[in-house]
Amino acid sequence: MASTLKMGRFVNVIKLMQITRRMSTAPAFQLHNQAFVNGNWVDAKAQNTFAVKDPATDELITSIPDMDEHDAEEAIQVASEAFKSWKRTTAKERSKILRKWYDLIIANQDSLAEIMTRESGKPLKESIGEIMYSADYVELYSEEAKRIHGEVLQSPVKSKEMLLIRQPIGVIGMLTPWNFPMAMIARKAAAALASGCTIVIKPAEDTPLSALEFAALGKEAGIPDGVVNVVTSSRKNAASVGLKLCTSPLIAGISFTGSTAVGKILYKQCSGGIKRIGLELGGNAPFIVFESADVDKAVIAATASKFRNAGQTCVACNRLFVHESIQEEFTSKLKNAISGFVVGSGLNANTNIGPLINQAQLTKVSSLVDDALSKGATAHVGGSPHSLGKLFYQPTLLSNINPTMLIYSAEIFGPVATVMSFKSEEEVIEKANDTPSGLASYFFSNDIAQIWRVAKALDYGMVGINEGIISAAEAAFGGIKESGMGREGSKHGIDEYTYIKYLCFGNLD
């Protein structure tokens, strides 16, 4: 078994080297640089465009349509018309199309990963991982499409029979973030399409290219025209497009992944139409290391959770609480791990940390660290922007954090880890739960009684126990409190896009 795993890792390394070598010698990859509506590649009605740039180099990748609310309205109309026929397809028909979509994603994973790395800056190996993760959702829902079951109820009277069936709710507006530009679309779109809904996707302005390629493969897989639509817009038009999706009477539901602040705005905008809404919002994940923990495994898990995608993930561990008896050992080992990171372009096979997505993100991370250092925090490694380029930040480890510092309670969303000590289980649970967020949480312990206590006591929708990477298509992903509502992934992801209809057959005697 061990030799098989080693061979698998060797094959992945060789594959990554081959992809990198091909990219360095091949001509520029072909991109779809138009929006996708009704199965066609289209420009904005006003003919406006905006630039998509490589965050590692600030070089222009391409320009794409800068659509506004009028373009969004057309896409909604198209999706509404397509829903009339798509909702009548059988589960088996939808399953076959989704399975073909999955096969095409797998077959094109190299070029998809290249596009993702160019527009998001994340290391190529992480892009490949995201492509596979995206494909997992399409595969899962190709199977779940055939398991959308109803119920036969026991009637209270002999003359009636009572049934419950599930039906698709209609057109879904999807607003997705830049940090996982394909995965966040895949887990929404695959569930919606499996349910019989049609969709209008508004991808993040920083990373729209992955969404367009995802739609292109969907068309190739046989998704009918109008069932999947992608409306691209700049930051200037993002609010008006979002408002149109939230207020259109033809939109039955909204699915959003992003910040809590924006989620609250969308929630209010949807209230006028009483729409179905799913929100996956910001996190403030604690990572607790108890005295019984395996420190080495905890360091590995914390490193993976915190620094994946340069820390730009909603489930990244944001606050590391370490028992005072092992804090020095943990901090030292974490420092050594962080010191070994390679910062650079995501196209370099050796890179662990790529650039932040834009200047606003870098400014936020820098200000949080500067504030902490000015108030007494200790930087064990890093602590400032990297000299490599204007959007790179040094992988950073801070200790001596206190509540007066902004970083104590803020979602960092960057390659910065903060370590704080604690004395007791009760103390750390109180600190971990002292936040309006409730998405992901993590803890390490080898005390089985403590594991059950802490897992139940943490006020979060997801808990990683002796594990730092918890996302999987098979799991129900989502938070509580101000981290959102609804679940994505697993069989429960279907619930967001279907409603229960009660059928009562009378006078049967």
Segments of 187-275 assigned E as strands: 198-202, 228-230, 251-257
Q: In which order are the strands placed within the sheet that holds 498-505?
A: 151-153, 161-168, 498-505
The model's pLDDT over 425-480, given as tens digits with 9 standing for 90+, comes to 999 999 999 999 999 999 999 999 999 999 999 999 999 999 999 999 999 999 99
Pairwise CA distance, residues 496 & 488, whole Å: 8
Q: Confidence class of residue 28 from pLDDT cuts 50, 70 and 90? A: very low
Domain 285-472: which CATH number of 3.40.50.1010, 3.40.50.300, 3.40.309.10, 3.30.1280.10: 3.40.309.10
| Residue type at 94 in one-letter notation | R
What ranges do the domains of the chain cover? Answer: 19-281+484-501, 285-472
Number of helical (H) and strand (E) elements in the chain, helices listed first: 14, 20
Residue 492, CA atoms < 13 Å, CB-side half-sphere: 11
Q: Please state, in angstroms and as integers, the Cα–Cα distance from residue 483 to each residue in 238, 328, 475, following that order.
A: 22, 32, 17
Q: What is the dihedral of CA 125, 127, 130, 136, to 10 degrees?
A: -80
**Pick from 256, 225, 205: nearest CA to 68:** 205
19-281+484-501 maps to which CATH number?
3.40.605.10
Eight-class DSSP state of 22: H
Quick one: average pLDDT of 17-40? 66
Q: Confidence class of residue 509 from pLDDT cuts 50, 70 and 90? A: confident
Pairwise CA distance, residues 494 & 144, whole Å: 8
Please list, in sequence order, all residues whose beta carbon lies within 8 angstroms of the beta carbon of residue 463, skipping any fewer than 6 positions away.
440, 441, 442, 443, 455
Check pLDDT > 70 for residue 17: no
280 is catalytic: yes
Crossing angle, helix 91-107 and helix 124-144, to 10 degrees? 160
Q: Please state, in angstroms and as integers, the Cα–Cα distance from residue 222 to each residue in 121, 188, 216, 344, 364, following that order.
A: 31, 18, 10, 39, 43
**Pick from 273, 272, 385, 397: nearest CA to 332:** 397
Pairwise CA distance, residues 90 & 194, whole Å: 10
The per-residue pLDDT for 31 is 87
Pairwise CA distance, residues 357 & 361, whole Å: 7
Q: What is the mean pLDDT of the chain?
A: 94
Contact (CB, 8 A) for 290 and 442: no
Count of C-beta atoms within a 10 Å radius of residue 164:
13
| pTM for the structure as a whole | 0.93
Residue with tokens 């009918």: 224
Catalytic position from the list 69, 280, 482, 488: 280
The per-residue pLDDT for 20 is 44
Check pLDDT > 60 for residue 21: no
Q: Confidence class of residue 23 from pLDDT cuts 50, 70 and 90? A: very low
Cross-strand partners of 65: 49
List the Cα angle 77/495/490 in 5-degree steps.
115
The model's pLDDT over 260-288, given as tens digits with 9 standing for 90+, comes to 999 999 999 999 999 999 999 999 999 99
The model's pLDDT over 30-89, given as tens digits with 9 standing for 90+, comes to 689 999 999 999 999 999 999 999 999 999 999 999 999 999 999 999 999 999 999 999
The per-residue pLDDT for 383 is 96
| Percent of residues, the chain, with pLDDT higher than 90 | 94
The per-residue pLDDT for 80 is 98
